[in-house]
A and B are shown apart, each in its own frame.
Chain A
């Protein structure tokens, strides 16, 4: 057989192509990098992270207590905590609301069905940023001042300064209580598997939670009090936090609602019929046959929505809620270290994304059919 010349041998060609690609990419990056260094030099700036230990010198209005004299590093930390605060609360609420919307979309009740449909269409098709501005400028900031606001004395205050709810003061029993709760949830998972009864698995943590609360008294409650001009005590969610959270939850729940609906509809009709003919009632069918299968379809797109919610929370910068994006861009502008601040932002969001997709994958694996791809 005739020997193939090397320039027509796919093995050599592929190596050659990759070398060319690499040279082009590296060349482009070096060119961009040199340009960048040149322009930084022209502006008397340098690419170093030494500014992080310096004193920040700006206020952060909420989240963990922050003193302007503290370092930029601490400021970034406060920003990250604030991002997670709004992100995680949003994820929990959006999941809950999304499930309600998704199930309403499948309801045989025409009115409920249509209402959920319009909800989804409306929130999915309007820009999130417009919603954030609407809830901030047109709703929360237009609320009356504390004294005339919507109040349930001692429990709940809603005014243009935000929302105040009772706060928890931990005491000696707090950790015991939290550990007890975790133990009861873990225990109920095993119990559910062992005796194949979801109701007991659900009731156990509930009973432990209520009984533990009455016996141990693990937290003191800090009731908010209405002063002359503002509410003191309790834990206050600022106007910015409230508006951002509401917008994120409404927007994301429209998407999760569609995901829930799609997942349940994707279950073959035969599954329903088979379960019913086995003598399971509606609730049992849903609980034992449909939901476990739907969850398998549901989890990956839900994970995407959670990621979107966290990323979308960066729109906080528009209404000055001090999340990590806002803090970083303030810090970058103020110290002239925009490049570094942006690098930190990228790393923070990439890390959060990786962690969430790791958790979702882990959870997803536990639902997959054994031996399936």
Chain B
């Protein structure tokens, strides 16, 4: 995880480790002292941590509860639905990645693929008796085959991919919900990482149009419209997310008396509203970054106000805020853990129930560190992707 801009790189011609150490660790008295103190601190912390992790910790609590952490109380006999859904998503992802990497494969993508292979092999070796040990390699095969098929296909437009993803995700939701044969599987049975993902994806996608509307509304010349948007955005941003979540839980049923909305949907509404307010603020920055001349040129070409906004200004504004949007997605992904407070069994909810289980008393460290690592598996790549996009945008600006 090194980035060339932040690290003084040694001269590439003579890779001399001694010189590197001297230049980067012992240049001057202060730095030498700092290095020694840091080394000592790292040594003692690492010694204790490793000692605990390798000898005292009982990591078997994680594999013993792995299914719970992944899907929560989802019925075991219907697990094939989740796997089928994951295959479908991977099929689409493979096709899409392959189709958009037709000329060459970026090293990042190759590394990710290698990491996936390693994870799959290790996991299958450790859990060879579990059904998932057969499904996981199959998923990887689907992803890989789809990638190469996607490279052979003619380029498909963004609109085409958007439609494909919307349909694919709809089918995924229907599958999880127990359609296509079999009884309905209500959302109170969705849990674990599955629920975490559903909450994050649905909310970010739903908050997108709402956020765009709010951002445009805030910039509107009509005082009533912009006033309403300002109040909405500022109020939502001024209160804690947990307050928005609680309000959705308590008041949606009050406001809409004759409709029964389940808890997961209420949480999704809360996340959508919250995320839309933040997206609107990022987008406002993006809109401000589009040079005025773009607007004027578009108007001079005879485009109407709506056309100018949709075809000229908005695409540029969106491009400028891609890193911020990825950041919003990361924080939403992390924030879905808040549903554990309102009693949903997302990954944190499952972890809390494991630590309260009398079979696993005193194993709370292992459980929380375990789910932290699972969260990191998803957030770190997203953060890296965001940084790569940011670097690319900056490079194209200069």
Contacts and interface: CB of A to CB of B under 8 A. Distances in A.
B324 interface: no
B372 A111 contact: no
Given A111-B35, A126-B375, A22 B337 contact: no
Contacts of B338: 129, 315
Contact of B365 (A117, A121, A134, A311): A134
A6 to B, nearest CB: 17
A125 interface: yes
A100 B366 CA distance: 29
A329 B241 CA distance: 15
B255 A342 contact: no
Interface string B200-233: 0000000000000000000001111100100000
B243 A314 contact: yes
A69 interface: no
A342 B380 CA distance: 35
B42 interface: yes
Interface stretch (B108-116, B161-169, B245-253): B245-253
Interface residues of B, number: 60
A65 interface: no
A251 to B, nearest CB: 10
B27 interface: yes
Given A21-B224, A121-B380, A126-B375, A108 B355 contact: no
A18 B223 contact: yes
Interface in A36-77: 36, 38-40, 42
Contact of A317 (B7, B242, B362): B242
A112 B369 CA distance: 24
A109 B23 CA distance: 9
A125 B255 contact: no
A306 B229 CA distance: 24
B299 to A, nearest CB: 13
Nearest to B330: A125
B179 interface: no
Contact of A109 (B31, B235, B253, B367): B31
A209 interface: no
B240 A122 contact: no
B330 A137 contact: no
A115 interface: yes
B383 interface: yes
A130 B222 contact: no
Given A17-B222, A133-B352, A138-B368, A113 B7 contact: yes
A89 to B, nearest CB: 18
Nearest to A139: B365
A241 interface: no
A329 B371 CA distance: 28
B358 to A, nearest CB: 15
Of the listed residues A107, A111, A311, A312, the one surrounded by the most CB atoms of chain B closer than 10 A to its CB is A111
A85 B238 CA distance: 19
A127 B257 contact: no
B310 interface: no
Contacts of A125: 330, 334, 375-376, 379-380, 383
A325 interface: yes
A127 B351 CA distance: 13
Contact of A142 (B31, B235, B364): B364
B1 interface: yes
Contact of A133 (B6, B239, B240, B348): B348
A307 B6 CA distance: 29
Contact of A14 (B221, B251, B337, B376): B221
A25 interface: yes
A35 interface: yes
Interface in B20-40: 24-25, 27, 31, 34-35, 38-39
Contact of B238 (A137, A342, A353): A353
A177 interface: no
Given A129-B340, A129-B348, A130-B375, A325 B242 contact: yes
B83 to A, nearest CB: 26
A108 B368 contact: no
Contacts of A124: 383
Contacts of B295: none
A127 B246 CA distance: 19
A329 B242 CA distance: 11
A127 B335 contact: yes
Interface in A121-162: 121-122, 124-130, 133-134, 137-139, 142
Interface string B325-368: 00000100011011011000000100110010000001011011
B239 A36 contact: no
A349 interface: yes
Contacts of B251: 36, 339, 342
B256 interface: yes
B8 interface: yes
Contacts of B369: 134
A101 interface: no
B31 to A, nearest CB: 5
A127 B35 contact: no
B254 interface: yes
A142 B243 contact: no
A247 B281 CA distance: 27
Contact of A40 (B6, B246, B254, B340): B254
A18 B330 contact: no
A133 B42 contact: no
Interface of A: 14, 17-18, 21-22, 25, 32, 35-36, 38-40, 42, 105, 107-113, 115, 117, 121-122, 124-130, 133-134, 137-139, 142, 307, 311-312, 314-315, 317-318, 325, 329, 338-339, 342, 345-346, 349-350, 353-354
25 contacts: A18-B223, A18-B225, A21-B222, A35-B256, A39-B257, A109-B24, A109-B35, A110-B8, A112-B34, A117-B6, A125-B330, A125-B334, A125-B376, A127-B335, A128-B334, A129-B338, A129-B348, A134-B364, A138-B364, A307-B238, A315-B338, A315-B341, A342-B246, A342-B247, A350-B235
Given A113-B7, A125-B376, A311-B241, 19 more contacts: A14-B222, A42-B257, A107-B34, A108-B8, A111-B42, A112-B34, A126-B334, A127-B375, A129-B337, A130-B337, A130-B372, A307-B238, A311-B239, A311-B240, A314-B243, A317-B242, A325-B242, A329-B246, A346-B243
Q: Which 10 A-B pairs have the closest CB atoms?
A: A110-B24, A125-B379, A314-B240, A127-B334, A138-B364, A311-B240, A353-B238, A127-B337, A134-B368, A138-B365
Interface of B: 1, 6-8, 24-25, 27, 31, 34-35, 38-39, 42, 221-225, 228, 235, 237-243, 246-247, 250-251, 253-257, 330, 334-335, 337-338, 340-341, 348, 351-352, 355, 362, 364-365, 367-369, 371-372, 375-376, 379-380, 383
